[in-house]
Amino acid sequence: MLMLAIIGCIVSLVLALVLTPLVKKFAFKIGAVDVPNARKVHTKIMPRMGGLAIYLAFMISMLVVLPFVTDFSTRDTNFIKAFLIGGSLIVLTGALDDRFQLSAKVKLLGQLIAASVVVFGFGITVDFVNIPFNDNFSYLESWVSIPLTIFWIVGVTNAINLIDGLDGLAAGVSGIAIGTILVMSLLMGNMTVALLCLLLLGAIIGFLFFNFHPAKIFMGDTGSLFLGFCLAMLSLLGFKQIAIVSFITPLIIIGVPLSDTFFAIIRRWLQKKPIFAPDKGHLHHCLREIGFSHRQSVLLIYGIAAFFGILAVIQSSAALYEANWVTFVVICVMMFFLQIGAEVIGLVGKTKRPILNLFARLRMKAQDVKGSKL
């Protein structure tokens, strides 16, 4: 199936290259455009809805490849059906928002409907988890697994949507996360997930030719919500493959969007602002503010996303040998760099730097002790 998946990836990439200019014309024709304002970094009207090209390239390549796949299990078939139908509902929600600027409540309703189709229509849920440092598996009752799965799908979908602020940012970060899941799926021998990852990667790479700075088209909510949904579904692999991947792995894979969302919530709570209120305190805004160019900011965040991806692969590979101490090290390294990075660039606030302030006080105290000895 791997060779078939690679061919499908190439087909998806070519389709994205062909479809994106057509979607661009379609977006202008129906008025799905992004007008500059105080929060936006672009200075001219840009077509939105570019994610439609990613979706169409992925769906068409799926239709090309699926007839040649004969070894799907019942679970694989249900997963793919849930993936395609739920993703289609998400794309519809995003496309309507790109054109008509839906309210946050209506968008949330669309996401909840898509997640509910996945859970109630096809029975895709987080049934059990492997807690780090514990060899026993925790099986979840339906009253826990159902809301947890819906929360996961909606949360990850919105996390990708929140980082979509610079040319090529959401597409590239999503591509890196999907690439990480691809590597893990190959290590596990899960060719169904590998197939989905490769088809999505082809569509994303093709779209990035038009979306990387300077962008000719934005993916809009059509793309960011769809890629977020795809990541949420594919990262459920981390919960299903209990013998290999622990509970923490999916969180590491999508560490960039989740951490940016987490710090945004903390920032708005400290500033006594509504959690869903837009601001210019996201990771990409902070990097631009401290002097990085548009392209440098995007490439730096790509690097951070790749760092998280490497940690996820290391952690999941170590789980094969039951090396739980590696999980502990990975979590500590991740949390340390997250906190230091957030304080350095001011993700929570310019004055909210407890760890850096502690280091500064310790350094001053050491200097005082050294001076007193002299």
Q: Are 226 and 58 in contact (CB under 8 A)?
A: no
Please calculate the CA angle 147-152-134 and round it to the nearest 5 degrees: 90
Alpha-carbon distances, residue 350 vs 212, 276, 286 (angstroms): 30, 21, 10
Q: Are 57 and 15 in contact (CB under 8 A)?
A: yes
Q: Are 247 and 129 in contact (CB under 8 A)?
A: yes
Reported for 132-140, long-range contacts at CB under 8 A and 24+ positions apart, including other chains, are 132/246, 132/247, 132/248, 132/324, 132/327, 132/328, 132/331, 133/324, 133/327, 133/328, 135/322, 137/242
167 carries a ligand binding annotation: no
Instruction: Calculate the CA 83 to chain-centre distance.
Output: 16
* CA pair distance 351, 353, nearest whole angstrom: 6
**Residue 291's CB: how many other CB atoms inside 10 A?**
8
279 carries a ligand binding annotation: no
Residue type for position 329: V
Binding residues for Mg(2+) are 161, 221
Binding residues are 161, 221
